[in-house]
Amino acid sequence: MVLICSLLFLYACSSGKEQDTNPKEDVIPGKVELSDGWVRPGSKGMMSAVYLTISNGTAKRDTLAEVSSDVAKRAEVHESYKGENGMSGMRPAPNRIIEAGEELYLQPGGLHIMLISLNKDLVPGDSVEIDFSFKQTGTKTVRMPVKAQNP
Partner 1 sequence: MRSTLYILLAFGMLAVFLEACSGPDTIADLSNESYQLLDSDSSSIIFPSHFRGETTVISFIYTHCPDVCPIITANMKNIQSGLADTSDVQFVEITFDPERDTPSVLAEYRKVYRLNDQFTLLTGQPAIIDSLMSRLHIVAKKAKIDSLQQDSSDYFMQHSNTIYIMDQNGRVRTEYPASVVPPENVIEDLKKIR
Q: Which stretch binds partner 1 (CB under 8 A): 8-16, 60-68, 97-105, 113-121?
A: 113-121
- Does residue 68 interact with partner 1 by CB under 8 A? no
From the number of C-beta atoms within 10 Å of its C-beta (0-12, 13-18, 19+), residue 69 rates as: buried
DSSP per residue, 32-46:
EEEEEEEE--B-TTS
Q: Which stretch binds partner 1 (CB under 8 A): 23-31, 60-68, 80-88, 125-133?
A: 80-88
- Does residue 93 interact with partner 1 by CB under 8 A? no
4-43: which residues touch partner 1 (CB under 8 A)?
40-43
Q: Output DSSP code: residue 146.
A: B
Nearest distance from C-beta of residue 34 to partner 1, angstroms: 19
Residue with smaller CB distance to partner 1, 6 or 107? 107
Residues 6+ apart with CB under 8 A from 106: 50, 51, 52, 53, 54, 77, 112, 113
How far apart CA 98 and CA 91 sit, in angstroms, is 19
- Does residue 115 interact with partner 1 by CB under 8 A? yes
From the number of C-beta atoms within 10 Å of its C-beta (0-12, 13-18, 19+), residue 76 rates as: middle
- Does residue 116 interact with partner 1 by CB under 8 A? yes
- Does residue 112 interact with partner 1 by CB under 8 A? yes
How far apart CA 46 and CA 80 sit, in angstroms, is 18
Residue with smaller CB distance to partner 1, 17 or 82? 82
Residues that bind partner 1 (CB under 8 A): 40-43, 46-49, 74, 76, 78, 80, 82-83, 85-92, 108-109, 112, 114-116, 123, 148-149
